[in-house]
Amino acid sequence: MPKKNKKGNLQYEHLKKVWSKRHKELQKEIFEKHKDSLDWISQNSKQFAVGSLAGLFLLTSPIVPKIPTAFSSASAEVNKLIDKKIFLVYDLKNILPNEVRPLTPQEEVNVSEVLSRTFDLRVVPELEGKRLNTSYGLIGQEQHLARYPGDNMLAHFDNPEDAQKYFKYGMAPGLGAWGYINNTKDSTLEKATEREKYYIAVQTFLAPGFSQNPKEYTDFFRYIKMLVVNPQNGKAMVVVIGDAGPAQWTGKSLGGSPEVMTFLERYDGRQRGPVLYFFIDDPDDKIPLGPISL
């Protein structure tokens, strides 16, 4: 075993020297451009098995602190995602304002381009001439929604693992904005379960034009797909608008189901934090709900 470790160390040192020698200028340029995102990865290193190109960047740079690395086949699947996650976080950080506020038209265009390119989807702030009051806001914790009459927490989960993780959030005392999820003509119980699991509540009532034609806007927003992204870690999920809210006085712009909030890691003790949420143009309903990989 010692010989094997020594050999592996020698190979690694050789790769590090080769990288530093051949790519000194490129490395400097990348670190100057991506410093903030690499700092974020460094501070959250426990979430990643950092290796390959990103690992060499981090280990050979005087700018970014040293973090644990893992060069193994077991970490290969994680490693190959790191660069895209770094660049997504960095690209969004360069676009988004320091404060959480509605984006300008140009900021929305820039964010749309980044998200569409990154996830290979058509992601837009406006669809069919309709938009929400904002596409960037604070998200807060929501409860589970009833899928059908008689739905309750004991019957709500498909498996013990989900019950253990999400039972504590409880069921909302009232129905969602559109009643029981399984009452819509295009919904089976399986589809209703997916919609309830991956839903967000947004302020549909504040959308420009809503008060002039509430029925048209309500029909448009009902279970339409959106991409919600945590810009601080690059995690993203395809969701539906499953409810209306929260109230303006809460200071939040939207809410997320327990599953959405947990996956996005969008909580900070107050159960709120900034997210992007843009429409997905999916007229044929082909894009599945749930976490979306880079």
Weakest-pLDDT range from 29-33, 85-89, 131-135: 29-33
CA distance 119 to 122: 9
CA distance 199 to 265: 15
CA distance 207 to 223: 16
Q: What is the mean pLDDT of residues 145-172?
A: 95
104 alpha-carbon distance from chain centroid:
21
The partner residues of 244 in beta bridges, in order of sequence, read 202
CA distance 235 to 40: 13
- 267 pLDDT tier (thresholds 50, 70, 90): confident
- In order of their start, the domains of the chain are 2-95 (no CATH), 105-291 (2.40.40.10)
- Check residue 16 and give its pLDDT: 59
Query: Which residues neighbour 235 within 8 Å (Cβ) at sequence distance 6 or greater?
Result: 229, 263, 264, 265, 291
Q: What is the mean pLDDT of residues 227-255?
A: 96
- 220 pLDDT tier (thresholds 50, 70, 90): very high
Upper half-sphere CA count for residue 74 (Cβ side, 13 Å): 4
CA distance 90 to 81: 14
- Check residue 257 and give its pLDDT: 97
Identify the residue with better confidence: 14 or 119. 119
Q: Are 63 and 35 in contact (CB under 8 A)?
A: yes
290 alpha-carbon distance from chain centroid:
10
Q: Are 198 and 215 in contact (CB under 8 A)?
A: no
Identify the residue with better confidence: 3 or 194. 194
Identify the residue with better confidence: 286 or 41. 286
- 75 pLDDT tier (thresholds 50, 70, 90): low
Identify the residue with better confidence: 71 or 16. 16
Model pTM score: 0.75
- Check residue 164 and give its pLDDT: 96
Q: What is the mean pLDDT of residues 50-58?
A: 43
Query: Which residues neighbour 21 within 8 Å (Cβ) at sequence distance 6 or greater?
Result: none
- Check residue 21 and give its pLDDT: 55
- Check residue 237 and give its pLDDT: 98
Largest separation between any pair of C-alpha atoms in the chain: 76
- State yes or no: pLDDT of 253 exceeds 70: yes
Tokens of 150: 């008689």
| Token pair 């409880």: residue | 170
- Check residue 60 and give its pLDDT: 41
Q: What is the mean pLDDT of residues 14-31?
A: 54
Tokens of 128: 């069919």
- Check residue 92 and give its pLDDT: 97
- Check residue 57 and give its pLDDT: 47
Closest by Cα among 237, 260, 31, 240 to 139: 260
DSSP class of 273: E
Q: Looking at the chain, how many residues does it have?
A: 294
